Amino acid sequence: MDKAVKHITHWINGKPWTGQAQRQGDVYDPATGQVTGSVDFAGAGEVDAAVAAAAQALPSWRRVSLARRSQLLFAFRELVRQHAGELAKLITAEHGKVPADAAGEVARGVEVVEFACGVPHLLKGGFSENVSTGVDSYSIRQPVGVVAGITPFNFPAMVPMWMFPLAIACGNTFVLKPSEKDPSASLLLAQLWAEAGLPDGVFNVLHGDKDAVDGLLTHPDVAAISFVGSTPIARHVYETGTGNGKRVQALGGAKNHMVVLPDADLDRAADAAVSAGFGSAGERCMAISALVAVDPIGDDLVARIRERVGALRVGPGSDERSEMGPLVTRPHRERVASYLDSGVAQGATLAVDGRVHPVIGGSSDGFWLGPSVLDHVTPAMSCYADEIFGPVLSVLRVPSYEAAVRLVNSSPYGNGVAIFTCDGGAARRFVSEAEIGMVGVNVPIPVPMAYYSFGGWKASLFGDTHVHGTEGVHFYTRGKVVTSRWLDPSHGGVNLGFPVNS
């Protein structure tokens, strides 16, 4: 193996795996198109080993005091903050996003770690004295067991940190299966957990593809599955996991709309459309991919967007001038670019062609596609119906607020939506009427803070529980109600009757 190509393997029971992988995958630098790493793919044996390590660690970990768990989380938080630059560089090298995006990803992940540090408060139950004569009742929440997290390529640090801090804080043990496209960040996080003092086996990392995923979904010792990815895979994860008796939260894809009313500040709306549509090369489940212009502002808004897009600096993350990087793989780049041709063939206007956008300092072998805008898109076109997951913004024109709401609510997805307006009444009405899980008012990407929960409606979520926040705590725990009677020494005998109020 070329010395320049690093080897990435699993993290099982507190240390790197030392076995011989039957299969491996290549890891690329998307800015150059060159192979920079080789990652081991897990088979059934490695899945069994990781789950066994987590299962063995579970009884002792769940008995660790809340105070001690909180101390470990604080230690992990400090280590992640100290190594934030290193994490961001790994993300840039394997995903391709520019340093500002990578640093922002790490910061948003740390927010959930900080939220999980408050686990002693988050796990407080309730208590009712004397519910019946001499009888008290109280509620507690307990860990579910071994939990698996299956996470996507677009946020190799943040999305795992949406899951495992709360799962571990609640007393569970964890097996992470990150994307095989950018696996290195997860190994650094595992090393930081070990340095923080987390017991062996509480946090494990498995690399691989569908074989590893299906191994976790069907493993009898895995109690719960958290997933973020595309809708077809989310459906598979939910159906397979629940079919095997597991608790599952599976967050799927999106087609996020940004509605711009005629009274909106069009400069701010154009700025928001560009940043939310093309940040991280559009490879975000909360990216704005459908801009809904309420006439008569469509032409003016598109002109302002075109002006801003032309000034965007596309280039490698190693260049401090770069504002947008490449796409994650060559096949993905080709798939995204194909929507420009199909959109035009189906009647859209190619207002901005990202294929001719200049790349600053980038290798011609990189997976480049500049920001692109398709105008006069209709709901029947594939560029609108499909989740493209790249830097392609579709602009739809509608005649009224009511038509915009109908368009948004007709989408099979329900992840995020934004409205831009200076009318507080219209915004309030939209918040109520939008059938979407996360709504932004003059905020293009309404990702909640860690103490609220992230997740959509309809085909964007399979299961009942969103990630992080209070719902995340509830997903990783089970409720138990205890009814207790301690007999007074003068009770005068045992009463075997069913307790009733008297």
Catalytic sites, residue numbers = 285
Q: What contacts 358, CB < 8 A, 6 or more positions away?
A: 314, 370
**Residue 276 in 3-state DSSP?**
helix
Burial of 47 (0-12, 13-18, 19+ CB in 10 A): buried
Burial class (CB in 10 A: 0-12, 13-18, 19+), 395: buried
- Within 10 angstroms of residue 162's Cβ, the number of other Cβ atoms is 27
For the chain, the farthest-separated pair of C-alpha atoms sits apart, in whole angstroms, at 91
**Which residues touch 177 (CB under 8 Å, ≥6 apart)?**
42, 148, 149, 150, 151, 205, 206, 207, 208, 212, 213, 216
Tokens of 72: 């470990």
Q: How many whole angstroms separate alpha carbon 115 and alpha carbon 70?
A: 10
Round to whole Å and give the CA distance between 455 and 464: 10
Tell me the two tokens of residue 486. 């301690």
Q: Is the peptide bond before 331 cis (omega within 30 degrees of 0)?
A: no
For the record, the structure tokens of 325 come out as: 């990087």
Q: What is the DSSP string of 201-260?
A: TSEEE---SHHHHHHHHH-TT--EEEEES-HHHHHHHHHHHHHTT-EEEEE----EEEEE
CA distance 373 to 367: 19
Q: What are the residue ranges of helices labelled H in 387-468?
A: 401-410, 424-433
* Cβ atoms 70, 120 nearer than 8 A: yes
